[in-house]
Structure 1
Amino acid sequence: MRVPRKRKAPCQSRRCPTFSPLFERLTHPPFAVNGELVYGATTFSVFNDEAYFSRDFVKKTQEEYEKYVAYEFSDTLSHAEKVEYLEEWFASFFTRLTRENVSMEVLEKVASKAVVSFRQGTFHLLRLCQLFGVPFLVLSAGISQVIEKLLEVHAPSSSVTRGLEIGANHLVFDEGGRVQDFSKPVIHSLNKLESFREFVDASYRKHFDDFPPEEINVILLGDHIGDAHLASCFPREANVIKIGFLNHFEQSLLQTYKETFDVVAMNDGSMRVVIELLLEVFKAWPHV
């Protein structure tokens, strides 16, 4: 873990919002079980279940994941090339999904069966945010209905996720309750800034419109370089601490992450650094 760069201290304002840009970063990426790679770590991975989806769909989904993740984190491809690959990937996935005759009932079942490893400390962090009155945003390139179901199934209680604000891709259902389309433009890891600017702005106005910008404190979490750019959604005067989780291609990406984030958690770290930061900040606040 890297020590944060020297920066101005969080102010003594009435609230200190914490902001999490990606739901996938609340979970661990694909991990090994008995030597086999498990893909149940993201909202897309729950669709890798042949009990509910065709074998061809599952096979193609796994093949595309392995192919396009390498492009997404490549240190040789240009930004434009990566965007082109990601748009190709997401368009292919969602188009194939609409042919699978998927209902909300199926989503509930796959969510309940999904092998999901939430990042250690995730629900403790959510409880702390509730206790301190800290808004928590999840900005995801995943699927909103799947995110909601996974949290509903795996959270220790429904109260833990109460008030959570989620922005993500959205499945569109027909009158018969089957997936027929998806929201557009598709949100992926490299277009979050333009995709979520209005969403973040609306949340900002709801919670902090009456606060001076210099009294706004933000903890921004992500494991993709593009996540850090979401800091520009907030006023320049706001105090933003960017924490990056480095999960892939550590040797080639470490230096870039150090230059981009204030803190870098290595080896797919837990939420401990975020929890400790929150506790340290609130310890000094007379308002709590």
Structure 2
Amino acid sequence: MLDRGAVSKLLSGENIKCRDVEDVTNKICNMKQDGYSTLQVLADFDYTISHCRFEKERMSSSFGALERYSGMSEEFRTKTRALYDHFYPLEVDPTIPAEEKIGLMTEWFTNSAGCIISEGVTKETVASAADSSKVKLRGKFDVFVESLQREEVPLLVFSAGVGQIIERVLSNAEISTKNVKMIANMLEFNSENTAVQFRPPLITTGNKSKVAAQEKEYFNSNINRVNSILLGDNIEDIQMAACVRNYSRNVLTIGFLNDRVEDRLDLYKSKFDMVMLNDPDFTDILHLFECLQ
């Protein structure tokens, strides 16, 4: 039987805000009754699995790992910095309508991807950029992954970031990916190990539902996993659930609210079941998972 006291304590923590505590508790109760064999986890990477800030310093996204890398040309870094300065404030602006924001994010990602290809990055460049980057995994993410593996719960990392950067960061942190499937923007290289394109379609923060629809093999293989925990940092990350909602009993959505907290808290509470504040580690997510034992 679910320890509702433990759940109540978890949901009343300083890092968590809920629109409807009773509804969240009921979802957790249903998931516990069904067991781990019915569970899957869908997670964004940048600023969800990774920190937005750490020790008061702004961390990097997987695209940012390349955009900030000192081995890139000054022209490249100037162009990509200008793109970031223009588009990031728009990404976190809660007043921009969803459809307009999707268009803006598509423009940003397309331009950034074009800069990377024009720069002629190599596999070695990508590895060096990842190794020296300020992409910082949230603390205890490794413990969370180990817990998922122990209970044979699959983890889908669904990211609009650069796949090879993410793979390298996880490898450097010695994160086992035995039960991990990744959908991300993968660079494709020619015989000289120079990037020639991102494998289409380019994933942005606004088209994850369309991309998910193309991953039928993965979702069909997990069709008996009727309970899902979804982790994201953008409202649009909820689209990751598009291919599980038609067979899901419960989808528990958790949003990491990293910027413009006061402006966006009500919006995030209206969209996510749980909202994570203060850029925390994975302690509370682990406690949630343990409640399902």
Instruction: Give the structure 2 partner of residue 61 of structure 1.
Output: 80
Instruction: Give the structure 2 partner of residue 29 of structure 1.
Output: 52
The total of aligned residue pairs comes to 269
Give the percent of matched residue pairs that are identical in Structure 1 and Structure 2: 27
The change in CA–CA distance for 1:117 and 1:78 in structure 2 (over 3 A counts) is same
Alignment of 1:37-186 (within 5 A): 38=58, 40-49=59-68, 51-153=70-172, 155=173, 157=174, 160-186=176-202
Question: Equivalents in 2 of 1:205, 1:236: separation in Å?
Answer: 10
Question: Equivalents in 2 of 1:84, 1:5: separation in Å?
Answer: 36
Query: Tell me, which stretches of 5 or more residues in structure 1 are unaligned?
Result: 283-288
Verify the 8 A CA contact 1:23 1:142 in the aligned structure 2.
Answer: yes
The SS at the match of 2:202 is coil
Shift of the alpha carbon at 1:236? Answer: 4.7
The change in CA–CA distance for 1:49 and 1:221 in structure 2 (over 3 A counts) is closer
Verify the 8 A CA contact 1:15 1:216 in the aligned structure 2.
Answer: no
CA RMSD, Structure 1 to Structure 2 (Å): 2.0
The change in CA–CA distance for 1:230 and 1:149 in structure 2 (over 3 A counts) is same
Instruction: Give the structure 1 partner of residue 11 of structure 2.
Output: none
Q: Name the amino acid aligned to 2:88.
A: V
Q: Name the amino acid aligned to 2:166.
A: I
Shift of the alpha carbon at 1:14? Answer: 5.4
Question: Equivalents in 2 of 1:248, 1:151: separation in Å?
Answer: 24
Q: Comparing both chains, which one has the higher relative contact order based on Cα–Cα distances under 8 Å and sequence gaps of 6 or more? A: 2
Q: Name the amino acid aligned to 1:270.
A: D
TM-score, normalization: structure 2? 0.85
Instruction: Give the structure 2 partner of residue 285 of structure 1.
Output: none
TM-score, normalization: structure 1? 0.86
The SS at the match of 2:278 is coil
Q: Name the amino acid aligned to 1:238.
A: R
Alignment of 1:215-234 (within 5 A): 216-234=226-244
Question: Equivalents in 1 of 2:101, 2:50: separation in Å?
Answer: 23
Match of 1:265 among 276, 283, 286: 276
The change in CA–CA distance for 1:264 and 1:143 in structure 2 (over 3 A counts) is same
The SS at the match of 2:153 is coil
